[in-house]
A and B are shown apart, each in its own frame.
Chain A
Amino acid sequence: METEAQPPFSFRMPVKIVSGAGSGGDVSAEMSELGCRRAFLVTDSHIAASGPAFDKLIKGLGPRLAGVFNEVTQDSGFEIIDKGAKMAADAGADCVVSVGGGSVIDTGKGICVALKNGGSIRDHMGVNILPGPQTPHIVLPTTSGTGSEVTNVAVIYDSLEKRKKNLLDHNIYPNTAVLDPEFLLGLPPPVTASTGMDAVTHAIEALHSMMKNPVSDALALQTIGLMGRWLPVAWAEPANIAARGHTLVASNLAGAAFSNAMVGLCHAIAHGLGGVARVPHGLANSIALPHVMRFNLEAEPKLYDQAAKALGLGAGDEVADWVEGMARRLDLPTTLKDAGVAEDSLGEVAEAAMTDGAALYNPRPVFEPDEIMPLLRLIWAGS
């Protein structure tokens, strides 16, 4: 008798998704649906100067555009959010429209909270303490990577304590994600590659996380199938709108998967590498992922069988090779050594990784920095 029961789970995804080339021109209609009339646009200076898709968005908003805030930086923090929230309040905005990558979207989430509750975003940091719906938020991602348009977390830099903090709350899910591939047409190949590998990592980690569930599995498997087929095309042909559309949807699915299933040791290591050695997030994940997968396989040999099947591969361990092959195809370095990381910084990376929440959900439990040092040396030198 088969007795293996499905463990209990819950899955949340309250974001409306609107997808299609040119959909950025219809944001005004999405505002109407949310009962909003004055949009405060949050972006960075690069995107604000980026061309036709952005122009179409501005034209579509017309008189409903209350103001534009283009001062978001890579590690956006409390001060930037507070400044944006004040400008939004002064402009009489009743919703926020964020156009950009993860940093812009997370800043937009922070502005929504500060605008709704008043005071500084500093006063509202926590986990699920916001009392109810926040300022309506429409998000247009401009990379196919973070999936932040469908997550309930904002990563915010605290310049006083010099570290990143998380605002995690079910009330900061954006209301609407508008997936318009036209915003991605100018993305340079190295950024396409690293952000795309971040999304692949979200999917793989959602598949191996201790919080995995059948819904996140379905989304993650669809992600790796789409990325396997279309990421190399988007990388080789930056103006291929079909490839941009598929990879944008794939990163969105991966976002919905990992915001419920969480991520694991690979992200913990990537966060450590980001903090200690300034390795870009997507690249750090891309380099570490195959090694983390092999590390996990030693404890759970069937861990990636589902993924192997979805990719048409024979066995779970071939999925790690598939990830590494994908990185090579996209011309990304596959060792930390090649990415310019000093070997003597690995101890510090291990310390940082073990204090990161993501490590808690890894299927092969790790608690002490020493336990991952051999793994980090492999990631540094290559197998």
Chain B
Amino acid sequence: MSQKFPSDGWTQSFGRVINASADYKQRGKNWRAGAVSFIVTAAPEIGMTQDFGMFLDLHEGECRSARSCTLAEAEKAPFMIRAEYGWWKSVIRGSLEPVRGLITGKLKLKGDLTVIVRHIGAAKSLAECAAQVDTIFQDEA
């Protein structure tokens, strides 16, 4: 079923795609650095009046839970990535490679970059999983 991005339903679908991915199971198997949260910053021009948070509890190639979250919850994850709606769309569509997005300032990371780089394969696999979610973008709905 198609899910609107961003939404709780989309986040849960993302979690299911991750857990169905043999590629992520393999490339993410050494990830023990904790949960990752994503923030889509508010974009009133497309009707998003507040920041939207997503929380992924990732561990050893598995997504133990995936749900929307408050900003306070997102802050508690060891890694929090924040970006504007348009850049998330580019990541999901595969036109913005996540680490390149970080380096060029389109994505902002709270946490230790070197850990992300050490698990670059897992990060790329997550982006590929996001691309597989049947997505309706909020501004195209």
Chain A residues engaging chain B, CB cutoff 8 angstroms:
10, 125-129, 163-166, 168, 170, 211, 262, 355-357, 360, 367
A264 vs chain B, min Cβ distance (A):
13
Residue numbers in B under 8 Å from A211 (CB-CB): 100, 103
Bound form: Cα–Cα A10–B100 in Å: 12
Bound form: Cα–Cα A127–B118 in Å: 15
Q: Do residues B114 and A128 form an inter-chain contact, with CB atoms below 8 A?
A: no
Q: Do residues B108 and A355 form an inter-chain contact, with CB atoms below 8 A?
A: no
Bound form: Cα–Cα A367–B118 in Å: 11
State which of A129, A165, A262, A355 has its C-beta within 8 Å of the C-beta of B110: A129
Chain B residues engaging chain A, CB cutoff 8 angstroms:
82, 99-100, 102-105, 107-114, 117-118, 120-121
14 more A-B residue pairs beyond the given contacts A126-B108, A128-B102, A211-B100, with a C-beta to C-beta distance below 8 A: A126-B109, A126-B113, A127-B102, A128-B108, A129-B108, A163-B114, A165-B112, A165-B114, A166-B114, A168-B102, A168-B103, A262-B103, A360-B117, A367-B121
Q: Do residues B104 and A127 form an inter-chain contact, with CB atoms below 8 A?
A: no
23 residue pairs from A and B, CB less than 8 Å apart: A125-B111, A126-B110, A127-B103, A127-B108, A127-B113, A128-B102, A128-B105, A128-B109, A129-B109, A129-B110, A164-B114, A165-B113, A165-B114, A168-B103, A211-B103, A355-B118, A356-B117, A357-B99, A357-B113, A357-B117, A357-B120, A360-B99, A360-B120
What 10 pairs across the A-B complex have the smallest Cβ distances? A127-B109, A357-B117, A355-B118, A128-B108, A126-B110, A128-B105, A127-B102, A129-B110, A126-B109, A127-B113
A310 vs chain B, min Cβ distance (A):
26
Bound form: Cα–Cα A328–B103 in Å: 35
Q: Do residues B117 and A168 form an inter-chain contact, with CB atoms below 8 A?
A: no
B122 vs chain A, min Cβ distance (A):
12
Nearest residue (CB) in A for B104 is A10
State which of B82, B113, B118, B121 has its C-beta within 8 Å of the C-beta of A168: B113
State which of B105, B107, B110 has its C-beta within 8 Å of the C-beta of A170: B105
Residue numbers in B under 8 Å from A165 (CB-CB): 112-114
Residue numbers in A under 8 Å from B111 (CB-CB): 125-126
Residue numbers in A under 8 Å from B110 (CB-CB): 126, 129
Bound form: Cα–Cα A170–B102 in Å: 11
Bound form: Cα–Cα A262–B117 in Å: 14
Bound form: Cα–Cα A211–B104 in Å: 10
B30 vs chain A, min Cβ distance (A):
11
Residue numbers in B under 8 Å from A10 (CB-CB): 104
Q: Do residues B112 and A355 form an inter-chain contact, with CB atoms below 8 A?
A: no
Bound form: Cα–Cα A127–B121 in Å: 19
Bound form: Cα–Cα A127–B82 in Å: 10
Residue numbers in B under 8 Å from A164 (CB-CB): 114
Nearest residue (CB) in A for B108 is A128
Bound form: Cα–Cα A201–B47 in Å: 48
Residue numbers in A under 8 Å from B120 (CB-CB): 357, 360
